[in-house]
Structure 1
């Protein structure tokens, strides 16, 4: 696990160095949207199609969905109770809810699981993402951002319309082909594999572009601490308990719980900007929880694989 995280850290560091040096006068804010758009519309759907077409889809997929969604609701409930107790203002509360509930299961979780457990673990990460986390991000997450934020060009756009996206279409096609036992053509498999190979390095590089120490401010530390406790401790503990009731075998249980121990998702920064939540607090949370995950993930891995 340590060696895997060091490899991940090297790719993330490349993004951080680019952010600092800005080669070709291209800032991180210019490069990251282009990379993430290409990944979202091309490379990630290709990986989703390749992996889910060949995956064992069935009762275990339902278990992944239950685990992922339950983790999100646990994070939301915990953060909501703390918000009521300490009376956080709306903009901070909205940012903290998003940061506490939604994990970086794709941009960091997918490469960590693949490198740690092997190629089979990509299916775990992708199923948790497309069947549980992503649908909630683009529905419940937007509802939360709208409620605690203010004004946006998409204020009146139906929430469910956000599910009309390439990864979800790729997942729907893959599941349909999988359940109908359609054999993947060799030529198509080779193309999808080559496209899929670009996902991990681009995701990690983009994550590095998103991290910024300039967002780390002392006045935000009291708001950061509850998110760190929920994200790094309570959510993995809750997921470990729940996974014990879902009849996973040992390797799939370890991969699924480790996926739920990931830091805060990067996409939330976009929500915070769009709906005028506390973007600086959210960016700080992503940066700090990502750095902390390089210490907490080996701990949870040791717990899950004694």
Structure 2
């Protein structure tokens, strides 16, 4: 019942965000400011507080790195095979990237932190760092190549290296590996700030979701949902079971890969010639379906 209550709470916050946008309370500027607080303040605080007392060698192993990249690129390959015959290149490019590009920062890590213990959250922070460094440049590359869009991939990669989420992860692991003592007052303050990561993120996601029911492509969107929400976490389950990792690593990887398509894919699609309406629809659908699928995953791994 506790898991059900948590996930129903997630859905409620999403709907509140959507309602605030529809009523005009969360317009574009206010949503952007709220998003900045979540992205530059709350989420980095959560990541730092999850990793500052742990050495990097205890969290990032060759086995974990191999498993993460294997699941990611295997899903990319499946997505390319499934969507290769889409008539529209803008729609094809979006379908491919949204089949693997996970919402790890806004939904994945805060959800793990709210549901599991600190060991699982620490591993989830590392999963966020490794996959973000991989999936963001990959998404930019796929959209740019398929749509023949002009973009500076180097600029995108440099921007990624300045990402506050990744910088917080590096800082936390550096402090943990050096055994530096962090004052209790700072720890308590960051813990309080980090607790706002999930509700703020859900409000922002809800305010960003837009869907045009008349534009639904059931075949393409259904394939995206199947790959992102079903296939990717199932593949993670199989791979990390075979790798015989510890319980915290198994739980973190399966749940993180079970998150819906990231809202940022809509932004990338808009900038790089993708089908914007299709991208917005898939973010909405995968987020909605993931409420049920994450309940199943959390129940099973828990």
Structure 2: gaps of 5 or more residues: none
Q: Which residue of 2 aligns with 1:206?
A: 204
How far apart in 2 are the matches of 1:191 and 1:118? 19
Cα offset for 1:248?
2.3
Q: In 1, are the aligned partners of 2:99 and 2:228 still within 8 Å (CA)?
A: yes
Cα offset for 1:201?
1.3
Q: Which residue of 2 aligns with 1:3?
A: 5
How far apart in 1 are the matches of 2:192 and 2:242? 38
Superposed CA offset, 1:223-273 (max 9, x none):
111111111221111100111133323344233212211111111111011
Q: Which residue of 2 aligns with 1:19?
A: 21
Evaluate the alpha carbon distance shift between residue 16 and residue 190 of structure 1 in structure 2; reply closer, same or farther with a 3 A threshold.
same
TM (normalized to structure 1)? Answer: 0.89
Q: Which residue of 2 aligns with 1:172?
A: 170
Q: Which residue of 2 aligns with 1:72?
A: 72
Cα offset for 1:216?
3.5
How far apart in 1 are the matches of 2:44 and 2:176? 15
Evaluate the alpha carbon distance shift between residue 70 and residue 294 of structure 1 in structure 2; reply closer, same or farther with a 3 A threshold.
same
How far apart in 2 are the matches of 1:68 and 1:208? 28
Evaluate the alpha carbon distance shift between residue 204 and residue 179 of structure 1 in structure 2; reply closer, same or farther with a 3 A threshold.
same
* 1:270 maps to 2:272: no
* 1:235 maps to 2:232: yes
Evaluate the alpha carbon distance shift between residue 34 and residue 64 of structure 1 in structure 2; reply closer, same or farther with a 3 A threshold.
farther
Structure 1: gaps of 5 or more residues: none
Q: Which residue of 1 aligns with 2:124?
A: 125
Cα offset for 1:117?
1.8
Cα offset for 1:45?
2.1
Q: Which residue of 2 aligns with 1:294?
A: 291
* 1:55 maps to 2:54: yes
Residue correspondences, number: 298
Evaluate the alpha carbon distance shift between residue 158 and residue 283 of structure 1 in structure 2; reply closer, same or farther with a 3 A threshold.
same
Q: In 2, are the aligned partners of 1:110 and 1:122 still within 8 Å (CA)?
A: yes
Evaluate the alpha carbon distance shift between residue 156 and residue 199 of structure 1 in structure 2; reply closer, same or farther with a 3 A threshold.
closer
Q: Which residue of 1 aligns with 2:253?
A: 256
Cα offset for 1:119?
4.3
Cα offset for 1:30?
2.7
Evaluate the alpha carbon distance shift between residue 94 and residue 101 of structure 1 in structure 2; reply closer, same or farther with a 3 A threshold.
same
Q: In 2, are the aligned partners of 1:231 and 1:261 still within 8 Å (CA)?
A: yes
Range that drifts further, 186-195 or 2-11: 186-195
Q: In 1, are the aligned partners of 2:266 and 2:276 still within 8 Å (CA)?
A: yes
* 1:183 maps to 2:181: yes
Evaluate the alpha carbon distance shift between residue 205 and residue 65 of structure 1 in structure 2; reply closer, same or farther with a 3 A threshold.
farther
TM (normalized to structure 2)? Answer: 0.90
How far apart in 2 are the matches of 1:136 and 1:300? 24
SS state at 2:242 partner? coil
Q: In 2, are the aligned partners of 1:53 and 1:178 still within 8 Å (CA)?
A: yes
User: Within 5 A, what are the aligned runs for 1:85-124?
Assistant: 86-124=85-123
Evaluate the alpha carbon distance shift between residue 116 and residue 47 of structure 1 in structure 2; reply closer, same or farther with a 3 A threshold.
closer
Cα offset for 1:148?
2.3
